[in-house]
């Protein structure tokens, strides 16, 4: 405190500016805002020498001494707290664990439509300034009394109705300083979210399902934190277990959140659950800001019982949460790829701990992190569903070695003879098929047959992918589009350009040529751009207006169609080629999941897996549905080299337009981190910086720096030390700190 400056005592607010500033600031709450500033409120504050007030979230309030040098809060931007105490605690944990500034972290937890008050209307309020009715005319005195009785502030319309006066009377009170009129932007009160009465499908539960539901229901009724891993083979009825557990939470007057990794899954799951519950909200990125804002209000008011959505749905503002379910918990889509780079599954678990409610993680192929926790951690519990419903057998899986296939056939064929035979048989019976190739486009790269020069992206160190429908080569990282020339553009060459590799467009073309009568649809992000596109294609497939669905990984995740009797994996090797320690795990999960789309009814099912690496354990275990064997093998391999889940990784990616600068700054950052951690006695391995697997994206050269820790506690303490010392900085265009990365690309 400055000498000679008098001190006062009053409320001090700790505010996290929404700007990317890695700290909070203290502000005094002026008398005119007393009672309106609360934890979770969005306020306006001034930062540094800036003339304009900036938005921030009030994190806490305490009674402290302050002097005239402490800046006041300028205004309250939203009258209602947008985050309650438990959600603020969750946000602060995310900020600390994922090394992200607190303000941007809290901002990410609130939909933009709610922060910006999309769909709001202007409402005039009146606030009591001086409760002195001396000398006032009767109507003004009555209005002043009604305002004081109403808590000191009311909407003008409500005050006029209570006092039996007109707006002119209120204006007179404001004119002589007894009241103040303010215009505020408010979102209309949420309406009734009710729907038609729920309809129950008629089917019998298996004994495995009954035991699982009994245990899940007990966990909901206990109202205590616990993580239940529901490990069930594809088609074992995990969704019905979710439904019964959610119903137990709703019956107890609580709310439930069901998280799914893809918008396609959201569409089908929402349609099915909407028939089972009265009050269901669907949250995903395809909603407009105004739609998200209205749903947020309905959830916060308790008008929604069940929330279904992708990543951000984990932040649904439930006042009475009772259960969180994470379906297909192993999917990499749960990892947010913008700051804060949180993993939805792990945030759901932390929220369950804060709210003292159970969290259910469901999968046919759990992540190795979840599997290790389920077998070693006391607060985890494993429930198995080892058999399909109705006694249905697992589909028969056959592996085709594409090296033998290429030797036996002339020409270029993406589909093996066995896959073609199975497709012909299925089409002849009027049944449906799903083909998976986890690569979009027509050809994975183009090159000149004469000089062997590849066509690469001018902005990124990757090959351009040829898209036949667009007639262009497209970069899947910066979206650069180039019209493909007829001949090689290299000086003096003029050779023919060859399209090499394959993508979903090329598979679709080959299918159309070999099965001209088949009704074929493609299901990838090139054609699925809006929620309506997902709903339309899935609706057509469910109505059997499509015979063959060709898609990327989104066709492998949880979709349930009873008349699919054949699944073909066109190439099981795409993920194996990636320079990533999770490549085998991703390959195993993808093959196992897509195989599970087949044979989910009495028609039975078959699967053909095409590969050049059929001898690898990931392929062998997947085709035999042997998760336990794969997990044991892969966990031991990871343990030997100290990789997750036996260690924790932090990946720091530096990017800049100048290669020499990013290389120099990466080396300096590694040295600074090593010195800081040594100073604080924080044990960690600082792995020397090296070029990223994709060295250049959008004309920015990229370098990786990996930090390895023995466990989460050591990692958090080390990150705290590094942030406190300002060590996680570099003079480059961008620096990304990715805690628990799911990919090293």
Confidence bin at 551 (pLDDT 50/70/90): confident
Kindly provide the residue ranges of all beta strands, DSSP E only, lying in 347-388, ordered along the sequence: 358-363, 380-385
Q: CA-CA distance, 410 to 229, in Å (whole number)? A: 48
**Omega of the bond prior to 234 within 30 degrees of 0, cis?**
no
The DSSP H or E segment spanning 492 is: none
Assess whether pLDDT exceeds 70 at residue 267: no
Residue 462, pLDDT score: 79
**Omega of the bond prior to 154 within 30 degrees of 0, cis?**
no
Most confident segment among 117-126, 326-335, 536-545: 326-335
**157 vs 325, more confident:** 325
Half-sphere exposure of 675 (CA within 13 A, CB side): 10
Give, in words, the CATH class of 207-391.
alpha beta
Strands 497-500 and 445-448: antiparallel
Strand ranges across the sheet with 472-474: 465-467, 472-474, 481-483
Give, as one character, the DSSP assignment of residue 732.
S
Average pLDDT over residues 276-298: 81
Contacts for 89 with CB less than 8 Å, ≥ 6 apart: 354
Most confident segment among 150-164, 354-368, 592-606: 354-368
Q: Please answer whether residues 552 and 440 qualify as being in contact, where contact means their C-beta atoms are separated by less than 8 angstroms.
A: yes
What's the mean per-residue pLDDT of the chain? Answer: 87
**276 vs 126, more confident:** 126
Q: Please answer whether residues 594 and 567 qualify as being in contact, where contact means their C-beta atoms are separated by less than 8 angstroms.
A: yes
Q: Is 163 exposed, middle or buried (0-12, 13-18, 19+ CB in 10 A)?
A: buried
Q: Which of the listed CATH numbers 3.10.450, 3.30.70, 1.10.30, 2.60.120 matches domain 648-739?
A: 3.30.70
Q: What is the pLDDT of residues 80-108, one digit of tens each?
A: 889 999 999 999 999 999 999 999 999 99
Average pLDDT over residues 502-516: 89
Q: What is the largest CA-CA distance in the chain?
A: 105
CATH architecture of 7-115: 3-Layer(aba) Sandwich (3.40)
Average pLDDT over residues 551-563: 75
DSSP 6-71: -EEEEEEEEEEESSS-SS-EEEE--GGGTTT--TT-EEEE--TT-SS-EEEEEEEEEEEEEETTSP
**CATH code for the domain defined by 396-442+502-639:** 3.40.50.300
End-to-end CA distance of the chain: 51
Closest by CA to 443, choosing from 409, 484, 477, is 484
Q: What is the pLDDT of residues 338-360, one digit of tens each?
A: 999 999 999 999 999 999 999 99
Residue 57 φ then ψ, to 5°: -110, 130
% pLDDT > 70, the chain? 91
Confidence bin at 403 (pLDDT 50/70/90): confident
Assess whether pLDDT exceeds 70 at residue 5: no
Confidence bin at 185 (pLDDT 50/70/90): low
Q: Please answer whether residues 351 and 259 qualify as being in contact, where contact means their C-beta atoms are separated by less than 8 angstroms.
A: no
Residue 192, pLDDT score: 47
Give the dihedral sign, CA 620/625/628/631.
Answer: positive
Contacts for 134 with CB less than 8 Å, ≥ 6 apart: none
Torsion angle, CA of 719/583/585/239, rounded to 10 degrees?
90
């Amino acid at each position: 405190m400055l000498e000679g400056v008098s001190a006062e005592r009053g409320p001090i607010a700790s505010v996290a500016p929404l700007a990317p500033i890695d700290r909070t600031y203290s502000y005094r709450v002026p008398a005119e805002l007393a009672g309106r500033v609360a934890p979770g409120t969005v306020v306006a504050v001034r930062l540094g020498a800036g003339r304009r007030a900036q938005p921030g979230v009030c994190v806490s309030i305490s009674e402290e001494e302050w002097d005239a040098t402490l800046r006041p809060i300028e205004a309250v931007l939203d009258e209602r707290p947008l985050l309650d105490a438990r959600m603020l605690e969750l946000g602060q944990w995310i900020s600390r664990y994922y090394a992200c500034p607190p303000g941007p972290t809290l901002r990410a937890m609130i939909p933009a439509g709610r922060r910006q008050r999309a769909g709001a209307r202007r409402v005039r309020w009146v606030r009591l300034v001086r409760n002195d009715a001396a000398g006032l005319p009767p109507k003004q005195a009555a209005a002043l009394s009604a305002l004081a009785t109403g808590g000191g502030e009311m909407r003008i319309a409500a005050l006029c109705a209570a006092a039996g006066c007109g707006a002119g009377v209120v204006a007179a009170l404001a004119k002589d300083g007894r009241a103040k009129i303010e215009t505020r932007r408010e979102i209309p009160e949420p309406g009734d979210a009710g729907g038609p009465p729920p309809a129950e499908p008629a089917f019998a539960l298996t004994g495995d399902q009954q035991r699982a539901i009994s245990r899940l229901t007990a966990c909901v009724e206990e109202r205590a934190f616990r993580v239940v891993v529901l490990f069930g083979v594809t088609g074992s009825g995990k969704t019905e277990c979710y439904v019964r557990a959610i119903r137990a939470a709703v019956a107890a007057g609580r709310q439930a959140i069901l998280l799914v990794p893809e918008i396609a899954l959201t569409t089908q799951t929402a349609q099915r659950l909407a028939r089972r519950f009265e009050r269901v909200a669907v949250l995903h990125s395809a909603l407009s800001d105004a739609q998200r804002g209205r749903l947020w209000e309905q959830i916060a008011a308790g008008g929604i019982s069940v929330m279904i959505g992708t990543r951000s749905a984990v932040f649904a503002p439930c006042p009475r949460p009772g259960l969180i379910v994470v379906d297909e918990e192993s999917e990499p889509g749960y990892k947010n790829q913008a700051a804060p780079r949180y993993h939805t599954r792990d945030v759901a678990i932390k929220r369950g701990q804060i709210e003292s409610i159970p969290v259910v993680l469901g999968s046919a192929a759990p992540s190795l992190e979840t599997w290790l926790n389920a077998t070693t951690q006391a607060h985890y519990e494993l429930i198995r569903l080892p058999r399909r419903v109705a006694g249905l057998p697992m589909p028969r899986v056959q592996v085709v070695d594409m090296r033998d296939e290429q030797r036996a056939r002339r020409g270029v064929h993406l589909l093996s003879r066995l896959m073609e035979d199975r497709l012909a048989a299925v089409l002849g019976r009027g049944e449906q098929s799903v083909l998976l190739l986890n690569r979009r486009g027509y050809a994975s790269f183009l090159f000149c047959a004469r000089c062997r020069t590849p066509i690469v992206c001018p902005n990124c160190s990757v090959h351009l992918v040829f898209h036949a429908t667009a007639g262009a080569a497209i970069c899947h990282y910066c979206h650069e589009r180039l019209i493909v020339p007829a001949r090689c553009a290299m000086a003096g060459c003029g050779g023919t350009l060859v399209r090499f590799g394959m993508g979903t467009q090329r598979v679709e073309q080959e299918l159309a040529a070999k099965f001209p009568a088949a009704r074929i649809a493609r299901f990838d992000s090139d054609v699925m751009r809006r929620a309506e596109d997902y709903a339309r294609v899935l609706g057509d497939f469910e109505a059997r207006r499509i015979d063959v669905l060709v898609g990327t990984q989104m066709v492998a995740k949880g979709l349930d169609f009873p008349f699919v009797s054949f699944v073909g994996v066109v190439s099981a090797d795409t993920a194996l080629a990636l320079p990533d320690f999770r490549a085998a795990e991703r390959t195993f999960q993808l093959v196992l999941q897509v195989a599970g789309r087949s044979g989910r009814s009495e028609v039975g099912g078959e699967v053909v897996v095409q590969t050049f690496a059929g001898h690898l354990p990931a392929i062998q275990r997947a085709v035999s549905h042997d998760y336990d064997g794969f997990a044991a093998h892969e966990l031991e391999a990871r343990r030997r080299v100290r990789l997750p889940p036996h260690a924790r990784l932090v990946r720091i990616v530096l990017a800049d337009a100048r290669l020499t600068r990013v290389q120099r700054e990466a080396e300096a950052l590694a040295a600074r981190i090593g010195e800081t951690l040594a100073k604080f006695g924080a044990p960690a391995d600082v792995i020397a910086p090296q070029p990223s697997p994709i060295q250049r994206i959008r004309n920015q050269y990229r370098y990786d720096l990996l930090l390895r820790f023995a466990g989460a506690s050591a990692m958090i303490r080390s990150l705290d030390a590094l942030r406190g010392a300002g060590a996680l900085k570099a003079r480059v265009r961008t620096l990304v700190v990715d805690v628990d990365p799911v990919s090293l690309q």
